[in-house]
């Protein structure tokens, strides 16, 4: 009976996660689409730049603790309250360095961009904590609660953002609304976690030596994930910096419009992996179950990527006109090229999570560093010649290299281990695929 209920549970979790994350990403996209015609290409380019920089700094302060928390809670080897406590303590310790980094970046800019970086930096910090609360809930497969929390956050954001744009009609008004909605989402997230885990564990007396040991364990496991994620975001977003530097805010606004649609398409693989990642972690010990699950996920992601790619490629003109208006027609060429890379983007989302589930986060780090070098090289060659479409080509070509690297890494991790020598008493060599 339990086996029969398992597929239904997976489908229910997928539906919950998809609904909540779809609402959150949909609301975020709605704010973006509403803001683009009001702000215009130049101010919208500044918004893209400020939001990209603050998102990178927020991830830099994450230390990979979100995925570590989900994985630690999913395995069940450590007391859940201790995992939550250590994760939040380490996460809180990064707040001051993050605030200083935002201040330094803001001082390096001027005018409306500087104000946007400060306000969006506040929003990114609050949202990072809300994401960590979601990681806690995913680790214990409380998808209904996470769905509710994300839905509240999404509604707060869209109401605040649209209202601010309707009244203030400026980048500063939008950034202030994002900061206010992020603060409200943080307060609500604290209330949810307090209801699930209580607060007595936070104030309780603990064994300092065991807490320090767990903190060291957490950092050993999370830092490779963090570094890989940080470099991955940098290679995925560095084109924003190069387009602004080499082509200006207006060209970045056009490219950013296409990229927002491209980025919005990643809702689907993020939903699938958010739900299936705890199961991937638990299946790691059983090679047959793990391989079957990975093949199903990878095949589904690739198929979905092909469908979305076709929609974007063939419908790029009506999509850009519908969502951004005639003032963003230059985004069409960028969207056409970005669409070509979507199938591999979907697939790579799964492949990189397979490596993390197998505790191969250091391989992810190596791949991310290699990809950063590839993307920077492609950007420096293609953006001066093609502006936004050149950046789009660099993004799509880089995904080919990432797919190749991930497949090689996974193949090497599952090669059979054969004994160097055998004796009559040892029996036949093992031929099962044992994780390296």
Query: Is residue 2 over pLDDT 60?
Result: no
Work out the percent of the chain whose per-residue pLDDT is above 90.
Answer: 35
Residue 288 within any structural domain of the chain: yes
User: Is residue 253 domain-shared with residue 361, that is, in the same domain?
Assistant: yes
Q: Which residue has the higher pLDDT, 15 or 153?
A: 153
Task: Write the pLDDT tens digit of every residue in 76-122.
Answer: 677 777 888 888 888 889 999 999 999 999 999 988 999 999 999 99
Residues 233 and 199 in one domain: no
Number of structural domains (the chain) is 2
Tell me if 430 is assigned to some domain. no
**Do 234 and 104 fall into the same domain?**
no
Task: Please check whether residue 124 is in contact with residue 55, taking contact to mean a CB–CB distance below 8 angstroms.
Answer: yes
Q: pTM of the full predicted structure?
A: 0.68
Q: Please give the Cα distance from 129 to 59 (Å, whole number).
A: 11
Using the predicted structure, report yes or no on whether residue 346 has a pLDDT greater than 60: yes
Higher pLDDT, 152 or 277: 152
Residues 308 and 170 in one domain: no
Q: Does 245 share its domain with 125?
A: no
Residue 422 covered by a domain: no
- Centre a 10 Å sphere on the Cβ of residue 194 and count the other Cβ atoms it contains: 11
Based on the domain organization, do 197 and 279 belong to the same domain?
no
Neighbours of 320 (CB within 10 A): 23
CA–CA separation, 43 and 47 (whole Å): 6
Domain that includes residue 188, residue range? 1-206
Nearest to 322 by CA among 307, 332, 313: 332
Task: Tell me if 420 is assigned to some domain.
Answer: no
Pick the range with the lowest mean pLDDT from 222-226, 253-257, 390-394. Answer: 222-226
Please write the tens of the pLDDT for every residue from 268-316. 888 788 778 878 888 877 888 888 999 999 999 999 999 999 999 999 9
pLDDT digits (tens, 9 = 90+) for 46-82: 998 999 899 889 988 888 888 888 888 877 677 777 8
User: Do residues 100 and 168 make contact, with C-beta atoms less than 8 angstroms apart?
Assistant: no
């Amino acid at each position: 009976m339990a086996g029969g209920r398992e597929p239904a549970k997976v489908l229910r979790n997928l539906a919950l996660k998809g609904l909540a994350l779809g609402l959150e990403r949909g609301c975020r996209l709605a704010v973006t689409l509403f803001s683009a015609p009001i702000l215009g290409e130049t101010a919208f380019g500044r918004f893209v730049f400020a939001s990209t920089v603050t998102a990178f700094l927020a991830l830099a302060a994450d230390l990979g603790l979100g995925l570590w928390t989900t994985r630690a809670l999913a395995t069940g080897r450590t007391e859940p309250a201790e995992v939550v406590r250590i994760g939040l303590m380490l996460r809180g310790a990064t707040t001051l360095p993050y605030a200083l980094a935002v201040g330094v970046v803001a001082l390096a800019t001027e005018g409306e961009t500087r104000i946007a970086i400060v306000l969006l930096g506040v929003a990114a910090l609050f949202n990072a904590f809300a994401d960590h609360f979601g990681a806690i809930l995913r680790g214990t497969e409380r998808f209904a609660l996470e769905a509710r929390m994300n839905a509240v956050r999404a509604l707060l954001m869209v109401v605040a953002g649209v209202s601010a744009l309707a009244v203030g009609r400026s980048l500063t008004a939008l950034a202030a609304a994002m900061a206010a909605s992020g603060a409200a989402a943080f307060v609500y997230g604290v209330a949810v976690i307090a209801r699930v885990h209580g607060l007595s564990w936070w104030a309780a007396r603990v064994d300092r030596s065991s807490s320090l040991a767990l903190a060291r364990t957490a950092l050993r496991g999370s830092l490779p994930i963090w570094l890989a994620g940080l470099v991955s975001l940098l290679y995925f977003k560095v084109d924003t910096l190069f387009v602004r530097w080499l082509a200006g805010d207006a060209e970045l606004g056009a490219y950013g419009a296409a990229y927002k649609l491209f980025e919005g398409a990643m809702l689907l693989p993020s939903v699938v992996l958010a739900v299936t990642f705890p199961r991937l972690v638990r299946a790691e010990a059983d090679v047959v179950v793990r391989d079957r699950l990975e093949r199903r996920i990878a095949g589904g992601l690739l198929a979905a990527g092909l469908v979305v790619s076709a929609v974007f490629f063939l419908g790029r003109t009506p999509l850009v006109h519908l969502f951004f208006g005639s003032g963003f027609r230059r985004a069409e060429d960028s969207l056409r090229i970005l669409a070509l890379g979507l199938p591999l983007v979907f697939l790579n989302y799964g492949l990189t999570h397979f490596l993390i589930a197998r505790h191969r986060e250091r391989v992810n780090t190596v791949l991310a560093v290699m990809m950063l070098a590839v993307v920077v090289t492609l950007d420096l060659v293609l953006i001066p010649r093609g502006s936004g479409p050149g950046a789009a080509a660099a993004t799509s070509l880089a995904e080919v290299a990432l797919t190749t690297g991930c497949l090689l890494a996974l193949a090497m991790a599952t090669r059979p281990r054969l004994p160097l020598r055998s004796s009559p008493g040892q029996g036949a060599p093992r031929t099962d695929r044992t994780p390296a």
